[in-house]
A and B are shown apart, each in its own frame.
Chain A
Amino acid sequence: MIEMTPAARERLDNYLQRMRSELRGTRAVVADEVEQSVREHIEIALADAHAPVGATEVIGVLDRLGPPERWLADEERPMWRRALDHVRSAPEDWRLAYLAFGLFLASIVFLPVGGILLIIPAMIVSRAYIELSRDRGEPLGARRWLVYPSIAIVLAFAVGLLIVGPPLPALAFAFQDDGFEQVLDIPHSRAGEVRFVLGLGSVLYGSWWIIAAGFCAAFLRPIRFVFAPLLDGVRRKHFAVLAAIGALVAAGGATLIYYRH
């Protein structure tokens, strides 16, 4: 082991770290073997230098070895590293879009271990990117395929929540407890029971859709902003339609309950 000044040692360690990182995952070469050979090269090259060897001498040897990033041909490098470099060297305009898509992909890949939480930062980055493009007056073009998926997933989840909503757990709770059977006067016949369940469900869902439509209509601007540009075309009249459907469903449900016996 050659005695070096702390600055020289730091230079060398940084260089070896870069080399390890560059060779990691490469199938064509054995990273440990290359590292061992390079260490041997450095030791031989510095064998005649006066101890402790200074940073200047070490830098001279490392400069002749060249940057490890240029040692391997592109096709020898692992696919993930090439992809990473592609993102790094991509036009600046695309990087945020790539990041958004990367987070979206990570949320899918790591779904079993709570990866779904990554969808929120993915959506925030996507939205930031869209706003940036709008400010610059640039059309998104093909980049929309990188930024839309995370917004679309969150929107689908929100719509699902809006449709299913709280009535489902409320219904489950109502039929879990036998005491409710007496209070609600549920018929004992099979047909009557079905009519009652359908009726109660329709009343709950219809009412919920009216409330949800009212809420969405009241907060239309922030909702459109959060899910832009996917909800840019949504107007208050669309929520009026939802409320009307809710009223019809609730009325139908009430009729079914009234004629349950």
Chain B
Amino acid sequence: MTQLRKGLLELAVLNTIAPAPLYGYDIVRRLSDVDHLVITEGTVYPILSRLKNSGLVETYIEESQEGPARKYYRLTARGRDDLYRMNQHWDSLHQAIGGLRKERKR
């Protein structure tokens, strides 16, 4: 279950920053609103670091008027390609599992 959640969390992080760059705290807040996804908020930061290490995500610093300077995360071109493939895989997997569940209900 932990492994599954970890994989899903990576996918969720990538999807969260796909529309627009976000800073860490904002990513955590958005993911916390998704039920059963985030185990603890801190889990997100090692994932962001790992995604950056893998070249799927890049960062830049932007000054903020409301507090400290914030580190924004955005997808790289490679990250966008990978996310597209991962989402396709997720959709087909979701469909397949949905099919299996329907068969069981019959």
Contact = CB atoms under 8 A, between A and B. Distances in A.
Nearest to B25: A44
Contact of A73 (B6, B66, B71): B6
B40 A70 contact: yes
A138 interface: no
Contact of A37 (B3, B24, B53): B24
Contacts of B42: 19, 38, 65-66, 68, 71
Chain B: number of interface residues, binned into ranges: 20 to 34
Interface in B1-37: 2-3, 6, 23-25, 28
Contacts of A71: 40, 42-43, 45-46
A41 B25 contact: yes
Interface of A is mostly: helix
Contacts, number: 74
Contact of B45 (A34, A64, A76): A34
Given A33-B49, A34-B49, A40-B71, A70 B43 contact: yes
Interface stretch (A22-30, A125-133, A230-238, A244-252): A22-30
A119 to B, nearest CB: 40
Contact of A40 (B3, B39, B41, B70): B70
A184 B49 CA distance: 80
A70 B23 CA distance: 22
B95 to A, nearest CB: 27
Interface residues of A, number: 27
Contacts of B39: 66, 70
Interface in A47-65: 47, 64-65
B45 A38 contact: yes
Contact of A30 (B2, B23, B49, B68): B49
B67 interface: yes
A43 B67 contact: yes
Contacts of B3: 73
Contacts of B48: 37
B52 interface: yes
A40 B27 CA distance: 13
A23 B46 CA distance: 9
A68 to B, nearest CB: 6
B73 to A, nearest CB: 9
A29 B45 CA distance: 9
A45 interface: yes
A30 B46 CA distance: 8
A76 to B, nearest CB: 8
B85 interface: no
A40 B68 contact: yes
Nearest to A31: B49
- Of B24, B40, B49, B70, which is in contact with the most chain A CB atoms at under 10 Å from its CB? B49
Nearest to A28: B50
The 10 A-B residue pairs with the shortest CB-CB distance, nearest first, are A66-B40, A65-B42, A29-B49, A47-B67, A44-B25, A29-B46, A37-B45, A37-B24, A34-B45, A43-B68
